[in-house]
C-alpha cells in the first residue's frame, strides 16, 4: 500500500511514543511514576456542569446534529466570554466550534494555505502544528528559539523569513512547551507585520485561562481590522477540564469562517451537542471556578520553580509558565529522547523530549504540571537531583 508522500517524514505522536516506554517497566509501589508528560488538568469538571449535562442527556435533541458552526446560543455565550476576558471579542458569526483546538488549527490551515506554501513557525513549536503542516505539504519556516530570552519571539527574525510564499505566522501563547507568554506589545508588532504583508497571524491560545496574575491579555480584538489578519485558536478543554470532550473553537473573520465551513462539513460536520452545552454552561456560569483553578496551577508552577531552582544544579530551568517548564538537561552526549528515557528508567519520571518541539532542541525537556499535586512536587524535584548525580 502506498502512503502520502509527506506522511512518512512526520514524527510519530510524541506522547504516544513516550508512554510506550512504560510497557515492561517494572512497577515500583515505593517509587510511583511521576507523570509530567501530558498537559491535562487532573481535576474533574465543575459539579454544577456535570449535573447540568446529566439532565440534558434525556433530551433527544442532545443526540442530534447541530449547525456546522455550532448552536447560535452557544456561540453567543462564547462571544460574551471573550468580551469579558479580552475587553472585546468576536461576534457569533466569527466563531466556529470545533473538535478541540487541533481541529480548529486544521480548519485554519486548510482554509488559508495549500501545498507548497510556507508558514513561519516559532520554535519551540507545539508538535501537532508542524505535524499537520508536513502532512499537508506546507513548508515550516522556523523562527529560532533564543534561550537567553526564554524563547520569546524575535520580531525582526520573523520579518526576515517572510517571502512571497508565506501565508501565515504561527504562534502559541502561553507557549506549549515553555509556558512563556508573548507580551501584548510583541503580539501587536507581529500582527502589524502580518498586516503589512497581507498574511495571517495565527495564535493558539489554548492556555489563555491560565495567565499569571497581573499578566494582561492582548487587545487585538479591539483592532478595527483584526478579522483581516488575526486567526485565534481556542481550547475550552483546558479551561473547563473537558479535554475528552474535544471542546475547541476557531475564531476569525466571518469570511474565513464561511470558507472554513466547507472543510468542517466534510471533516466532522459539527462539534457534538453535549460538548457545546458544556461550553455554554462554562462560559455562562464558571468564571470564578476557572479563576480558582488558574490559581491552583499557578501555585504548582511557583512551587516547582522555587524548589527546582534551589535544589537542582545540573538541569537548567530555561523558561516556565502555569502549565509547563522548559528544562535544559545536563547530558550533552544524549538527545532529548535519550535523556527522557533515562529519566523514566532511572527516576520513574515521564516527560517529553525537546526535539519533539522542533529541530535543534535535543538538549531540552518539557515538563507539565497538570498531573502533579502541589504536595508531591518536592519529591518529584528530588528525583531530578538524584538522577543528575548518577
d(C-alpha 34, C-alpha 364), whole Å:
18
pLDDT of residue 6: 80
Determine the pLDDT at residue 41: 87
Is the Cβ–Cβ distance between 203 and 232 less than 8 Å? yes
Cβ-based neighbour number of residue 383 at 10 Å: 17
Place of cell 518529584: 380
Least confident span in 75-89, 227-241, 299-313, 343-357: 299-313
| pLDDT at residue 31 tops 80 | no
- Report whether the peptide linkage leading into residue 174 is cis, meaning its omega lies within 30 degrees of zero: yes
**In terms of Cα–Cα distance, which of 226, 149, 221, 155 is closest to 181?**
149
Q: Report the alpha-carbon distance of residue 256 to residue 251 in Å, rounded.
A: 9
Which residues, 6 or more positions from 87, have their beta carbon under 8 angstroms from its beta carbon? Answer: 217, 219, 221, 222
- 122 vs 371, more confident: 122
Distance in angstroms (rounded) separating the CA atoms of residues 305 and 361: 21
Q: For the purposes of burial, counting CB atoms within 10 Å of the CB of 354, is it exposed (0-12), middle (13-18) or buried (19 or more)?
A: buried
Say yes or no to pLDDT of 25 above 80. no
pLDDT at 109 over 90: yes
pLDDT of residue 135: 94
Nearest to 232 by CA among 293, 269, 191: 191
pLDDT at 374: 86
Share the mean pLDDT of the chain. Answer: 93
Contact 9, 359 (CB under 8 A): no
Give the number of C-alpha atoms closer than 13 A to the C-alpha of residue 336, restricted to the C-beta side.
22
- Point out the least confidently predicted range of 124-133, 262-271, 350-359, 370-379: 370-379
Q: Please answer whether residues 202 and 231 qualify as being in contact, where contact means their C-beta atoms are separated by less than 8 angstroms.
A: yes
What is the C-alpha to C-alpha distance for residues 226 and 90, in angstroms, rounded to an integer?
10
Confidence of residue 26 (pLDDT cuts 50, 70, 90): low
Write the pLDDT tens digit of every residue in 36-54: 998 888 899 999 999 999 9
Lowest mean pLDDT: which of 11-20, 153-162, 369-378? Answer: 369-378
The 3-state secondary structure of the chain, one letter per residue: CCCCCCHHHCCCCHHHHHHHCCCCCCCCCCCCCEECCCCCCCCCCCHHHHHHHHHHCCCHHHHCCCCCCCCHHHHHHHHHHHHHHHCCCCCHHHEEEEEHHHHHHHHHHHHHCCCCCEEEEECCCCCHHHHHHHHCCCEEEEECCCHHHCCCCCHHHHHHCCCCCEEEEEEECCCCCCCCCCCHHHHHHHHHHHHHHCCEEEEECCCHHHCCCCCCCCCHHHCCCHHHHEEEEEEHHHHCCCHHHCEEEEECCHHHHHHHHHHHHHHCCCCCHHHHHHHHHHHHHCHHHHHHHHHHHHHHHHHHHHHHHHHCCCCEEEEECCCEEEEECCCCCCCHHHHHHHHHHHHCEECEEHHHHCCCCCCEEEEECCCCCHHHHHHHHHHHHHHHHC
- Name all domains of the chain by residue range, CATH numbers in brackets: 7-44+289-389 (3.90.1150.10), 47-286 (3.40.640.10)
> pLDDT band at 2, cuts 50/70/90?
confident
pLDDT digits (tens, 9 = 90+) for 325-341: 999 999 999 999 999 99
**How many angstroms separate the first and last alpha carbons of the chain?**
47
The structure's pTM equals 0.94
299-335 per-position pLDDT tens digit: 999 999 999 888 888 999 999 987 899 999 999 999 9
Q: How confident is the model at residue 29 (pLDDT cuts 50, 70, 90)?
A: low
Which pLDDT does position 9 carry in this prediction?
A: 87
pLDDT of residue 389: 65
Model confidence band, residue 30 (pLDDT cutoffs 50, 70, 90): low
Dig out the grid coordinates for 310 from the structure. 534551589
Based on its alpha-carbon atoms, the radius of gyration of the chain, rounded to whole angstroms, reads 21
In this model, does residue 177 exceed pLDDT 70?
A: yes
Say if residue 209's pLDDT is above 80. Answer: yes
Whether the predicted pLDDT of 28 surpasses 80 = no
pLDDT at 172 over 90: yes
CA pair distance 50, 274, nearest whole angstrom: 11
Reading phi first (left if > 0) and then psi (alpha if -120 to 50, else beta), residue 151 is in left
The Cα angle at residue 231 between residues 288 and 211, in degrees rounded to 5: 30
At residue 342 the predicted structure's pLDDT band, cuts being 50, 70 and 90, is very high
pLDDT at 292 > cutoff 80: yes
Amino acid at each position: 500500500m502506498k502512503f502520502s508522500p509527506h506522511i512518512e517524514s512526520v514524527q510519530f505522536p510524541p506522547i504516544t511514543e513516550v508512554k510506550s516506554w512504560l510497557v515492561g517497566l517494572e512497577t515500583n509501589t515505593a517509587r510511583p511514576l511521576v507523570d509530567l508528560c501530558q498537559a491535562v488538568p487532573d481535576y474533574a469538571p465543575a459539579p454544577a456542569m456535570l449535573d447540568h449535562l446529566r439532565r440534558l442527556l434525556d433530551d433527544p435533541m442532545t443526540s442530534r446534529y447541530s449547525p456546522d458552526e455550532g448552536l447560535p446560543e452557544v456561540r453567543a455565550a462564547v462571544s460574551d466570554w471573550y468580551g469579558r476576558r479580552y475587553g472585546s471579542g468576536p461576534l457569533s458569526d466569527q466563531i466556529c466550534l470545533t473538535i478541540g483546538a487541533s481541529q480548529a488549527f486544521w480548519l485554519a490551515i486548510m482554509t488559508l494555505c495549500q501545498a507548497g506554501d510556507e508558514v513561519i513557525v516559532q520554535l519551540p513549536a507545539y508538535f501537532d502544528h508542524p505535524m499537520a503542516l508536513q502532512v499537508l505539504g506546507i513548508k515550516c519556516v522556523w523562527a529560532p528559539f533564543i534561550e537567553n530570552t526564554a524563547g520569546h519571539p524575535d520580531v525582526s527574525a520573523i520579518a526576515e523569513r517572510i517571502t512571497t510564499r508565506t501565508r501565515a505566522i504561527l504562534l502559541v501563547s502561553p507557549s506549549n512547551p515553555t509556558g512563556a507568554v508573548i507580551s501584548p506589545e510583541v503580539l501587536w508588532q507581529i500582527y502589524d507585520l502580518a498586516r503589512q504583508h497581507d498574511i495571517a497571524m495565527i495564535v493558539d491560545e489554548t492556555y489563555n485561562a491560565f495567565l499569571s496574575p497581573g499578566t494582561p491579555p492582548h487587545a487585538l480584538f479591539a483592532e478595527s481590522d483584526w478579522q483581516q489578519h488575526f486567526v485565534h485558536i481556542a481550547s475550552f478543554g483546558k479551561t473547563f477540564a473537558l479535554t475528552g470532550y474535544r471542546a475547541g473553537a476557531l475564531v476569525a473573520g466571518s469570511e474565513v469562517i464561511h470558507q472554513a465551513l466547507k472543510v468542517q462539513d466534510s471533516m466532522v460536520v459539527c462539534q457534538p451537542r453535549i460538548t457545546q452545552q458544556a461550553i455554554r454552561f462554562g462560559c455562562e456560569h464558571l468564571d470564578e471556578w476557572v479563576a480558582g483553578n488558574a490559581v491552583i496551577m499557578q501555585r504548582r508552577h511557583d512551587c516547582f520553580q522555587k524548589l527546582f531552582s534551589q535544589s537542582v544544579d545540573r538541569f537548567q530551568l530555561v523558561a516556565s509558565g502555569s502549565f509547563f517548564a522548559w528544562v535544559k538537561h545536563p547530558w550533552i552526549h544524549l538527545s532529548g529522547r535519550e535523556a527522557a528515557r533515562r529519566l523514566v528508567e532511572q527516576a520513574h519520571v515521564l516527560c517529553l523530549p525537546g526535539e519533539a518541539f522542533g529541530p535543534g532542541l535535543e538538549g531540552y525537556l518539557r515538563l507539565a504540571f497538570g498531573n502533579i499535586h502541589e504536595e508531591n512536587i518536592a519529591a518529584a524535584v528530588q528525583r531530578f537531583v538524584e538522577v543528575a548525580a548518577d
